Amino acid sequence: MNVLITAGGTTEYIDKVRGITNFATGRLGLLVADKFIENNHKVTLIYAGKHSPLAANTEKFTKFFRITTTNDLKSTLKKCLESTKYDCVIHSMAVSDYTPCSQRVRKIASNSNQLNLRLKRLPKLIRRIKKIQPDTLLVGFKLLSGKIRSEQRLVAAANRQMKAAKSDFVLANFLEDIDEHTHKAILINEAGIVARCQNKAEIARVIYENCYFRGYGEHSGV
């Protein structure tokens, strides 16, 4: 299989030295990438984030792109999808939802007691993937947070993303169910819950197995 994976988290610049970002580490995306690579599949990785532990050995990837902003991701995704046919796209990157309405050319002075920052909404880039490559197998990710942590809520959110982005699978979980050793999540497709996972290693394995079967195995008699 030829696989495209996004991992990490984007940053939106406020000025030349400051930015709005998230705490995505990219570790899960790297584990998924490693699972495909160790099974002799080709992996293109698009990697972002100030908090992302960049893999030391980038030569193991067929192609590797380091990006920062959502606009970087937009152009890199477009370039990859228009130039290469992918059997599967796994979009695990935490992409910024908002960006400053205008970026300051110079560093903002630090002597003000208050600073007002206007933000504008960014497009959902996952929804563009199937428009460029309708036949690719698409895996999306949905992270929720809050006191009400029900499986029903996760399934509903995953279904909304599947409909909007035409995803084939969605990995859904609550922020409160992630810590250093645990990463509880459910994998969902159009038929419902495919698997329940307890940690990142299980998630990587489940995503690989389901993508392999749907994207390759079922067409080869496996």
* Integer Cα distance of 202 and 188 in angstroms: 15
Note the pLDDT tens digit of each residue in 50-101: 655 565 578 899 999 999 999 999 999 999 999 999 999 999 999 999 999 9
Residues linked to residue 4 through DSSP beta bridges, in sequence order: 44, 89
Lookup: tokens for 195: 């698997």
Cα angle 176-22-152, degrees, rounded to a multiple of 5: 35
Q: What is the pLDDT of residues 156-214, one digit of tens each?
A: 999 999 999 999 999 999 999 998 889 999 999 999 999 999 999 999 999 999 998 87
